[in-house]
């Protein structure tokens, strides 16, 4: 179904922007050639994992700045960029956006390309710094893969600083029960402190959900605590980070993103919002 949908889209297109590393790449390129469709390809280059596919637009991590990247268009490098939403997955998306702009006729040196640095999605890899020794990220990560990817990114960017990572998380009640283990599993062995709290518990007791999540923490070196309500959990995580000022601290507040409500007993209950709580506590 996936391939059939892709081929149908190509048949009804005039131009195509295609990931050079996508599934069925050769077949899709053949379809485009037969239909006389112009193709602009993009790719993420990362020699460490063997990604080096030729493309019209490529993006690679800036060796001088792990949270930035350098894009090349037809082999010519653009000025280094640093997204407001860091992460290798967002850099790959930026390469796709540049390719779309190029395919639409935007010159590679147009200011609109560089303006991508300023793009932010509330609650998505939202970075809030507090001096040189503490950074807080607010993100929608809510299952094994998204939490693992988030912690992977922290290690990639900040690993040389031996960060002390704290995870603030809850999970939903009445559905997706496997997330309770998955969220913990995605961080286990790398997060030193878990703060379990409320996140849309619905008709379940959020403390019971938090206790179930706590039981999946099998790392004997990891600290765990349950803190309700969610505002108090964020405040506690940041206070604990300040108490470990001899280390570089990262606090990951995950699950809700920019949501400003919690579903409790079937009803939406207003919530200040993760970013708002973090900024209030940090005086931002």
- Over residues 251-274, the pLDDT tens digits come to 999 999 999 999 999 999 999 999
For the chain, the domain total comes to 2
Same domain? 186 vs 155: yes
Q: Which residues contact 119 (CB under 8 A, 6 or more apart)?
A: 83, 84, 85
Same domain? 25 vs 81: yes
pLDDT at 3: 73
Same domain? 209 vs 260: yes
The torsion of the CA quartet 264, 269, 273, 278, rounded to 10 degrees, works out to -70
Q: Which residues contact 123 (CB under 8 A, 6 or more apart)?
A: 138, 139, 140, 256, 257, 258, 259, 274, 275
Q: Which of 87, 118, 149 is at the close of a domain?
A: 118
136 touches 282 (CB < 8 A): yes
Same domain? 92 vs 140: no
pLDDT at 2: 66
CATH of the domain at 85: 3.40.1190.10
Same domain? 109 vs 159: no
116 touches 108 (CB < 8 A): no
Q: How confident is the model at residue 207 (pLDDT cuts 50, 70, 90)?
A: very high
- CB-neighbour burial class of residue 211 (10 A; exposed 0-12, middle 13-18, buried 19+): middle
What is the extent of the structural domain holding 87?
2-118
Same domain? 137 vs 94: no
Q: Which of 51, 83, 118 is at the close of a domain?
A: 118
Percent residues over pLDDT 70 in the chain: 99
Strand partners, 166: 193, 251
Same domain? 150 vs 238: yes
Same domain? 136 vs 271: yes
Same domain? 91 vs 16: yes
Same domain? 112 vs 142: no
Mean pLDDT over the full length of the chain: 93
Same domain? 135 vs 62: no
pLDDT at 55: 96
Token pair belonging to 69: 């990247």
Determine the Cα angle at 137 with ends 135 and 90, to 5°: 115
194 touches 187 (CB < 8 A): yes
Q: Quick one: which of 96, 78, 79 has its CA closest to 41?
A: 96
* Residue 47 pLDDT > 80: no
**Alpha carbons 229 and 236: distance in angstroms, whole number:** 11
Same domain? 9 vs 81: yes
Q: What is the largest CA-CA distance in the chain?
A: 64
Q: Which of 53, 86, 118 is at the close of a domain?
A: 118
CATH of the domain at 258: 3.90.190.20
Q: How confident is the model at residue 12 (pLDDT cuts 50, 70, 90)?
A: confident
- Over residues 169-189, the pLDDT tens digits come to 999 999 999 999 999 999 999
């Amino acid at each position: 179904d996936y391939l059939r949908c892709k081929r149908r889209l190509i048949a009804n297109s005039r131009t195509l922007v295609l990931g050079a590393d996508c599934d069925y790449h050769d077949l899709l390129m053949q379809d485009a050639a037969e239909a006389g469709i112009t193709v602009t390809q993009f790719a993420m280059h990362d020699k460490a994992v063997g990604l080096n596919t030729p493309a019209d637009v490529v993006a690679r991590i800036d060796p001088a700045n792990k949270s930035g990247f350098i894009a090349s268009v037809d082999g010519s490098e653009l000025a280094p960029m640093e997204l407001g939403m860091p992460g290798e997955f967002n850099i790959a998306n930026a390469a796709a956006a540049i390719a779309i702009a190029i395919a639409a006729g935007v010159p590679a040196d147009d200011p609109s390309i560089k303006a991508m640095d300023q793009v932010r999605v509330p609650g998505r890899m939202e970075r809030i710094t507090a001096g040189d020794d503490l950074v807080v990220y607010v993100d929608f990560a809510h299952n094994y893969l998204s939490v693992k990817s988030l912690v992977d990114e922290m290690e990639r960017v900040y690993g040389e600083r031996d960060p002390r990572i704290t995870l603030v998380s809850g999970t939903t009640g009445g559905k997706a029960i496997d997330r309770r283990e998955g969220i913990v599993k995605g961080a286990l062995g790398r997060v030193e402190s878990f703060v379990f709290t409320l996140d849309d518990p619905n008709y379940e007791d959020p403390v019971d959900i938090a206790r179930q999540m706590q039981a999946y923490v099998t790392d004997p070196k990891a600290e765990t605590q349950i803190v309700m309500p969610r505002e108090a959990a964020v405040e506690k995580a940041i206070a604990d980070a300040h108490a470990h000022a001899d280390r570089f601290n990262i606090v990951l507040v995950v699950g809700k993103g920019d949501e400003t409500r919690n579903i409790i007993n079937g009803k939406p209950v207003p919530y200040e919002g993760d970013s708002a709580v973090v900024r209030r506590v940090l005086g931002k």
